[in-house]
Structure 1
């Protein structure tokens, strides 16, 4: 199976080099101040300019306003926006039109009642990110190292491409792919030696496990 991997929360040139070596399909930059992976516009621009053609550059935002999103899009060369907050379907459609970029909408899942939102957002977004719902009171909407019951989405399909996220590591990603049939996976905390610090060895191991699934 040809599994496409997204490495998210990259913040240093060596992270980009490791992702390129691991044949990443996507690299993600976080623009959420509460995250230990948050980068400035200037840092993100420099990193994005070092990414070769063929690897999609994704900006992760959380309930960002128009001014913030305009600054990101106008400064950083991007291929996609990832909305990881409580953006409504109407907001997704509006931003897609405003910026002319594909939208990936993250949807948190903890039980079967959360699956309806995937159907709803699948009608307005270009891709879905099926993530673990954060615990109540969590500071971060993702990147918490938590997984959900992957059997909940086994065999399910949506109108647009989707990506599995939430608690994935080099040790469990192959099993996650086997249980869900995911053709795309996203990892952030699972390839870190400390919060926000990516590890080149873990990046390589994750890619090898995902692509060998």
Structure 2
């Protein structure tokens, strides 16, 4: 099995080019105002036109309303919606209103947290296992935290899935070996500062994925 990679939180043409040129299968565009990776609709539109057809544009949202979703889908030419901290009933409503695939993030710290994944059977086209952030944290992800990958050992995934949380060029090959993740997702692990992607780190991460 070949593992593919999503580079999340891209915001500049040069870092988007690094992701595409390095072989990323997905690029993440964040639409969440508190995030240092948040994009305006105009910036999203300018980046979206750079993305070739074989790379999917993933819009990243935190419990979004319909107005934001509609505007972001149009501006970012989104292929996938990625939802964080969104209740199952809201996920179902979003799916019913739109034809795009939906990825749902599950925050993991203990094995019990995986029960949340089981509840997404039939709702999520893909489950994104991410590290649970501390109580009161402003962001649901992108903080460089990882969880114990062994928690996924033997777990019957209720949907296709991806692995996120604290990944970088130094540990992603191990993460792939230990979990068998079909897709790995990175944000802060390819940054020089919060929200500032580094083309060299993106290249190193994608190289490690390809070799892993």
TM-score by length of 1: 0.96
Q: 1:122, 1:128 within 8 Å by CA — same for their partners in 2? A: no
**2-side partners of 1:79 and 1:31: how far apart?**
14
Moved more, 102-111 or 201-210: 201-210
**1-side partners of 2:47 and 2:57: how far apart?**
10
Unaligned runs of 5+ in 2: none
* TM-fit CA distance, 1:180: 1.0
1:167 equivalenced with 2:149 (yes/no): no
* TM-fit CA distance, 1:160: 2.2
After superposition, the C-alpha distances for 1:151-199 in whole angstroms (9 at most, x for unaligned) are: 0002434242110000001001111111111111000000001111111
* TM-fit CA distance, 1:143: 0.2
Aligned residue number for residue 36 of structure 1: 36
1:3-14 alignment, distance < 5 Å = 3-14=3-14
Aligned residue number for residue 193 of structure 1: 192
**2-side partners of 1:120 and 1:180: how far apart?**
21
1:153 equivalenced with 2:152 (yes/no): yes
**1-side partners of 2:199 and 2:74: how far apart?**
30
Unaligned runs of 5+ in 1: none
**2-side partners of 1:101 and 1:26: how far apart?**
15
- What is the number of equivalent residue pairs in this alignment? 212
1:64-103 alignment, distance < 5 Å = 64-85=64-85, 87-103=86-102
Aligned residue number for residue 141 of structure 2: 142
**1-side partners of 2:154 and 2:3: how far apart?**
16
1:16 equivalenced with 2:16 (yes/no): yes
TM-score by length of 2: 0.97
1:128 equivalenced with 2:127 (yes/no): yes
2:175 aligned counterpart, secondary structure: helix
